[in-house]
């Protein structure tokens, strides 16, 4: 079968190759890939900065944001041939002392010895077919054909949003009103969507001009968009601050800006990945004092459990009913596998690029 392969650590090594067909083990399902989204993690892998091939393989099949169709499924597993599914990404580490992995939460792995399909130690989904255990496949309704590829990034945001809500409700009778999302890429847009579904007053803040497709997508949700050229983050937050901030850029100035933009008893979810090694001078005392005296809650979040995938599916269905076509519009570019180079290249007007494997 055809697959995209990369040599981890080697920039520009992505190829469309012919590899062995998958051979499902007893109890595994066989899937046909429909399309696979490309995100910042893929860009890093394709640029040679990230990624690890499975043991014994000189190359890695990348791709972790996948929409697929069941070709064959074991009897009684709850999946039927023809059904749409989204596979989860992270697999348990199997380390004896890792209690989150033992309890079906490899997203919270404490040994950090996990594998991730398409990223770390396991092949991903940029290929025509793959085998997988049914417990890692989340069934989707047929109506998800145009936007089901967004399941994985939506699951990552869902985990952070649900966790923030659960912890905040455990701390106090929380009634958030204002939310701020930094970053208008796919993750930021999906965060804005989930916060709008909770009826918050949402502002998204990024560098793009106000007429950029991403800014238009923000306004289509009934949220506000502010370009960073027009206002500082502190101005957007105002003197009262913001109840709920989701930081999706990893940009150091925005991360520390967000720490100072929280309203009393507010929560900041950190979802953006930073580059390494650059220092920043910050008003450390003021930041600490603000968090202490205002009961600020800050937490980081990565990956998603199967439960978060299921919740993401529910949210996508409600979002599609509320804003028909909005989700499909986020997948702004679809390319055939042979065009992987152009898919990597990106483009200023793009929101999400996907590699299309099958109809
Ligand atoms: Zn991703
Ligand atoms: Zn673990």
CATH code of the domain covering residue 17: 3.90.180.10
Pair 104, 165 in one domain = no
Give rounded-to-5 percent helix, strand, coil for the chain. Answer: 35, 25, 40
Q: Does 316 reside within a domain?
A: no
Q: Does 318 reside within a domain?
A: no
Which ligand is in closest contact with the Cα of 90? 2
Which residues is 69 bridged to in the sheet?
32, 84
Q: Does 280 reside within a domain?
A: yes
Considering its fold, how many domains does the chain have in total? 2
pLDDT score of 225 more than 80:
yes
Pair 52, 189 in one domain = no
Residue 64 CA, ligand 1 centroid: distance in Å? 6
Pair 69, 193 in one domain = no
Residue 61 CA, ligand 2 centroid: distance in Å? 23
Residue-number span of the structural domain to which 114 is assigned:
2-147+325-356
Pair 160, 137 in one domain = no
pLDDT score of 106 more than 70:
yes
Return the pLDDT at 246. 98
pLDDT score of 274 more than 90:
no
Q: 105, 110, 77, 79: which is closest to 91 by C-alpha?
A: 105
Which ligand is in closest contact with the Cα of 97? 2
Residue 119 CA, ligand 1 centroid: distance in Å? 9
Look-up of token digits 């993750």: 187
> pLDDT over 70 for what percent of the chain?
97
Pair 251, 350 in one domain = no
Pair 7, 94 in one domain = yes
Pair 21, 122 in one domain = yes
Which residues is 17 bridged to in the sheet?
3
Pair 263, 332 in one domain = no
Across all residues in the chain, what is the average pLDDT?
Answer: 95
pLDDT score of 30 more than 90:
yes
Q: 170, 220, 178: which is closest to 324 by C-alpha?
A: 220
Q: Does 308 reside within a domain?
A: no
Return the pLDDT at 278. 84
Q: Does 307 reside within a domain?
A: no
Q: Does 217 reside within a domain?
A: yes
Return the pLDDT at 276. 74
Return the pLDDT at 346. 60
Q: 295, 251, 242, 294: which is closest to 271 by C-alpha?
A: 251
pLDDT digits (tens, 9 = 90+) for 324-357: 999 999 998 999 999 876 766 666 678 999 999 9
What's the mean pLDDT in 298-306?
97
Pair 139, 172 in one domain = no
Return the pLDDT at 340. 76
Pair 350, 333 in one domain = yes
Q: Does 76 reside within a domain?
A: yes
8 Å CB contact between 191 and 248: yes
pTM comes to 0.96
Which ligand is in closest contact with the Cα of 190? 1
Residue 116 CA, ligand 2 centroid: distance in Å? 12
8 Å CB contact between 14 and 34: no
Pair 338, 263 in one domain = no
In degrees, rounded to 5, the angle at the alpha carbon of residue 7 between the alpha carbons of residues 46 and 106 is 75
Which ligand is in closest contact with the Cα of 36? 1
Which ligand is in closest contact with the Cα of 106? 2
Which residues is 198 bridged to in the sheet?
none
């Amino acid at each position: 079968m055809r697959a995209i392969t990369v040599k981890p650590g080697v920039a520009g090594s992505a190829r469309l190759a012919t590899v062995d067909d998958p051979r499902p083990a007893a109890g595994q399902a066989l899937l046909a890939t429909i399309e696979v989204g490309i995100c910042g993690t893929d860009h890093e892998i394709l640029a040679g900065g990230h990624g690890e091939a499975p043991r014994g393989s000189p190359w890695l099949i990348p791709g972790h944001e996948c929409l697929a169709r069941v070709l064959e499924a074991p009897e009684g597993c709850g999946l039927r041939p023809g059904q749409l599914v989204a596979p989860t990404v992270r697999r348990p580490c199997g380390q004896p002392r890792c209690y989150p992995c033992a309890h079906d939460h490899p997203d919270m792995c404490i040994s950090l010895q996990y594998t991730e399909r398409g990223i770390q130690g396991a092949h991903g989904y940029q290929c025509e077919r793959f085998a997988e255990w049914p417990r890692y496949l989340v069934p989707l309704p047929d109506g998800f054909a145009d936007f089901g590829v967004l399941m994985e990034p939506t699951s990552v945001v869902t985990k952070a949003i649900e966790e923030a809500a659960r912890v905040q409700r455990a701390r106090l009778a929380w009634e958030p009103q204002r939310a701020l999302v930094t970053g208008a890429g796919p993750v930021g847009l999906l965060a804005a969507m989930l916060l709008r579904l909770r009826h918050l007053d949402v502002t998204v803040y990024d560098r793009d001009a106000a007429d950029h497709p991403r800014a238009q997508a923000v306004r289509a949700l009934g949220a506000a968009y502010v370009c960073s050229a027009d206002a500082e983050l502190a101005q957007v937050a105002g003197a009262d601050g913001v109840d709920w901030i989701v930081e999706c850029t990893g940009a150091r100035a925005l991360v520390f800006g967000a720490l100072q933009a929280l309203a009393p008893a507010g929560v900041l979810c950190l979802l953006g990945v930073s580059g390494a090694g650059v220092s920043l001078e910050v008003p450390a005392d003021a930041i600490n004092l603000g968090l202490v005296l205002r009961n600020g809650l800050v937490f980081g979040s990565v990956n998603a459990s199967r439960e978060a995938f299921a919740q993401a599916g529910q949210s996508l269905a409600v979002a599609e009913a509320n804003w028909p076509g909005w989700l499909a519009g986020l997948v702004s570019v679809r390319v055939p596998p042979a065009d992987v180079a152009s898919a990597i290249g990106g483009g200023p007007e793009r929101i999400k690029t996907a590699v299309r494997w099958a109809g």
